[in-house]
Amino acid sequence: MLLEECEVLSNKTLASGLYEMKLEGPGICAQGRPGQFVNILVNPSDTPLLRRPMSIAHVNGTTFGLIYKVFGQGTREMSSWQPGHMADILGPLGNGWWPTDDRLPLLVGGGVGIAPINFLHQRLSQAGAPHQLIMGARSGAEHFLEHDPSAGITLTTDDGSAGIAGTVIDGLKAAISRQDNQAVTVLGCGPPGMLRALQSFTMSHEIPCQLAVEEMMGCGVGICMGCSVECRIDASLAQAGEGRRYRLACLDGPVFSAGELVLARD
């Protein structure tokens, strides 16, 4: 974890409603792992008061990328940053996806959850590690990759304008059907509805699954305890005093084993 003054190198539209920012940050790049995030100070005034947490979307040398949507005041202001702007960034924070023995990783991303999934895809590709990538969006205009199942990239769209018409679960089923009974593991990130669907699908098919959650955060480093995530309490752990019902997205996550998460309705 370090605080780094990062220069914005580029900041532009990546796909419909989606921005990509590239920043110079040697320290963050050296330490960052897929699933980890950075916490960005939007401006030095009192509003917005809190930093904005964003997953690392890729790392190239000493440059890292963010992929984000404009949701509110903070991200709107960030979308106006020009190359040369210096940003005060704290990171890398949290825990990423952890290695999964010899199971084939199926990477599933939706919404801005595609950002950390993209980083994981990049790292596995660089390592020559076989894996499949499944990305979901409402329409083709929101995608920035090409649907190419032979290259391990499956896109889904709600409106059928690119890739498979349907949700990431349909994409996941298609990717699984292409395997010759090889054991798989699912590594996912996306909006709450997608996480619930992934949790339900993987648990009913007994597929190991690690999900990265998105939570409102106050600090990103565990000192405010605001980003609570409800977890199932294992009775034996509870007796040992370790069965904490609420864990922190920033410190204990954002990646959790799907089986331990209690995912609330929207």
Partner 1 sequence: MTDLTVTLGRGLTLKNPVMVASGTFGYGDEVADLLDYSELGGLVTKSISLEPRDGHPPPRICETPAGMLNAIGWANMGVEAFCRDNLPFLAGLRTAVFVSVAGSSQAEYAHVIEAVERSALEIAGYEINISCPHVDKGGLEFGVSPEETEKLTSRLRAATERYLMVKLSPNVTDIGEIAQAAERGGADAVSAINTVIGMELDPATGIFKVQTGLCGLSGPAIRPIALANVYKVSQAVSIPVVGMGGIMSVEDVVRFIRVGAQAVQIGTANYRDPRIGLQIARELPGYLAKIEAPGLEEIRGSAH
Interface residues with partner 1 (CB under 8 A) are 1-3, 41, 46-51, 88, 90, 215-219, 221-230, 241, 244-246, 251, 264
Q: Which is nearer to partner 1, 79 or 228 (CB)?
A: 228
**Residue closer to partner 1, measured from CB, 230 or 234:** 230
Q: Find tokens 């199932």 and name the residue.
A: 232
CA 18/CA 153 separation, integer angstroms:
19
Which residue lies nearer to partner 1 by CB, 168 or 250?
Answer: 250
Omega within 30 of 0 (cis) for the link into 48: yes
Q: How far is the CB of 84 from partner 1 (least distance, A)?
A: 22
Nearest distance from residue 243's CB to partner 1, in Å? 10
Nearer to partner 1 by Cβ, of 3 and 129: the residue is: 3
Name which of 189, 179, 245 is nearest 215 in CA terms.
189
**Closer residue to partner 1 in complex, CB, 9/233:** 233
Question: Strand order in 255-257's β-sheet?
Answer: 164-165, 153-157, 132-137, 104-110, 184-189, 209-212, 255-257
* Shortest separation between residue 55's beta carbon and partner 1, angstroms: 19
**How many CA atoms lie less than 13 Å away from 72 in the CB half-sphere?**
8
- What is the Cβ-side half-sphere exposure of residue 159, based on CA atoms within 13 angstroms? 8
In angstroms, give the least distance from the CB of 225 to partner 1. 5
- The least distance separating partner 1 from the CB of residue 233, rounded to whole angstroms, comes to 9
